[in-house]
Amino acid sequence: MTDSGRPAAAADLLARLSLNQETVKQWSLPELADGCARAGVRGVGLWRAPVQEYGPAAAARLVRDAGLTVTSLCRGGFLTAQDPAGRAAALDDNRAAIEEAAVLGTDTLVLVAGGLPPGSRDLHGARERIADALGELGPYAAARGVRLAIEPLHPMYAADRCVVSTLTQALDLAERFPADQVGVVVDTYHLWWDDTAGAQIARAGGTDAGPAGTDTAAGPDAVAGAGGTGGAGGPAGGGAGSRIAAFQLADWVTPLPEGVLLGRGQLGDGSVDFRWFRERVDAAGYRGPIEVEIFNPALWARDGAQVLAEIVNRFAAHVG
């Protein structure tokens, strides 16, 4: 669509494929590193619990020695507690997550912002507490070369996991802060249904302006952004000033399972038009990793290498 939206060659695109660890939960961290290296996949998205168990420094070495890049760490967040003790604990935990991300050498810490506190019905208040927390955590993260990536989660998670349900809301939050401190995650599973997603991906690209997009005013607390300095840029980031910190893929399949957490589909099995998303993220100037993150017990029950081979094939068929 734009000059920068050239068609990506298949090989170029495959070089950007990253495997999120949770997709092949049956693999240990060494198995993951080995399996990705064998499959020619160059990036991995890691989760805190298995990294902590293995040791962050050892995990960083393991992955580096396999020739892999850590494209993101999942996850910080849960920043909506109202009580001071709960709030302090959440901030402490997020500082620890930022440090782990820095040790792993990734510039992206994915945040699941948090749901409504027990008994609360105040979505707006919860979103404002997230903004307050971002203000505290953003400089701490940027000083360590890490960007906080707000992930809008599907509205079916608004009560118990994440009151940030659309890319619009995520950008409204992110744009209050410098672009090297706070970005957003574009995840097809969460956004596929939303007919405003395309325009918001363009807004997130921010290739023509500062951190506040041209079509939406920044919030009242807007801070002059990092703009052209692109602190969170490099291979994993988008263009200067871009808010797109990560691009994640999973398909939407029904019926949803009880609890709706583990029903994500293999690429191509469901309703998501991946090429549509990839073209828009391309046009927004994003050149970073494309991470496949599927939570599905049927994939976990299979041989990890077979699952990864299938992902590589599906990625070429549906994304490229």
| Binding of residue 194 to a second copy (CB under 8 A) | yes
Instruction: Rank residues 163 and 184 by Cβ distance to a second copy and give the closer one.
Output: 163
User: With CB under 8 A as the contact rule, which of the stretches 66-74, 200-208, 246-254, 296-304 interacts with a second copy?
Assistant: 246-254
Instruction: Rank residues 139 and 257 by Cβ distance to a second copy and give the closer one.
Output: 257
Instruction: Rank residues 52 and 271 by Cβ distance to a second copy and give the closer one.
Output: 271
Instruction: Write the binding mask 103 to 132 for a second copy: x where contact by CB under 8 A, - elsewhere.
Output: -------------x----xxxx--x-----
Instruction: Write the binding mask 267 to 286 for a second copy: x where contact by CB under 8 A, - elsewhere.
Output: ---xxxx-------------
| Binding of residue 150 to a second copy (CB under 8 A) | no
Question: 3-class secondary structure for the chain?
Answer: CCCCCCCCCHHHHHCCEEEEHHHHCCCCHHHHHHHHHHHCCCEEEEEHHHHHHHCHHHHHHHHHHCCCEEEEEEEEECCCCCCHHHHHHHHHHHHHHHHHHHHHCCCEEEEECECCCCCCCCHHHHHHHHHHHHHHHHHHHHCCCCEEEECCCCHHHCCCCECCCCHHHHHHHHCCCCCCCEEEEEEHHHHCCCCCHHHHHHHHHCCCCCCCCCCCCCCCCCCCCCHHHCCCCCCCCCCCCCCEEEEEECEECCCCCCCCCCCEECCCCCCCCHHHHHHHHHHCCCCCCEEECCCCHHHHCCCHHHHHHHHHHHHHHHCC
Question: CB 256 → a second copy: shortest distance, Å?
Answer: 5
Question: CB 177 → a second copy: shortest distance, Å?
Answer: 19
User: With CB under 8 A as the contact rule, which of the stretches 60-68, 79-87, 192-200, 233-241 interacts with a second copy?
Assistant: 192-200
Question: CB 97 → a second copy: shortest distance, Å?
Answer: 25
The contacts of residue 308 (CB under 8 Å, 6+ apart) are 19, 24, 35, 36, 39, 41
Question: CB 159 → a second copy: shortest distance, Å?
Answer: 4
Instruction: Write the binding mask 151 to 190 for a second copy: x where contact by CB under 8 A, - elsewhere.
Output: ---xxx-xxx--x-xx--x---------------------
Handedness of CA 116, 118, 120, 121 (dihedral sign): positive
| Binding of residue 193 to a second copy (CB under 8 A) | yes
Binding-site member from 3, 224, 254, 301 for a second copy (CB under 8 A): 254
| Binding of residue 220 to a second copy (CB under 8 A) | no
- What's CA 283's distance to the chain center, in Å? 18
Binding-site member from 83, 195, 220, 301 for a second copy (CB under 8 A): 195
Number of residues interacting with a second copy: please give it, by CB under 8 A: 33
Instruction: Rank residues 147 and 190 by Cβ distance to a second copy and give the closer one.
Output: 190
The residues of the shown chain that bind a second copy, judged by CB under 8 A, are: 116, 121-124, 127, 154-156, 158-160, 163, 165-166, 169, 192-195, 252-260, 270-273
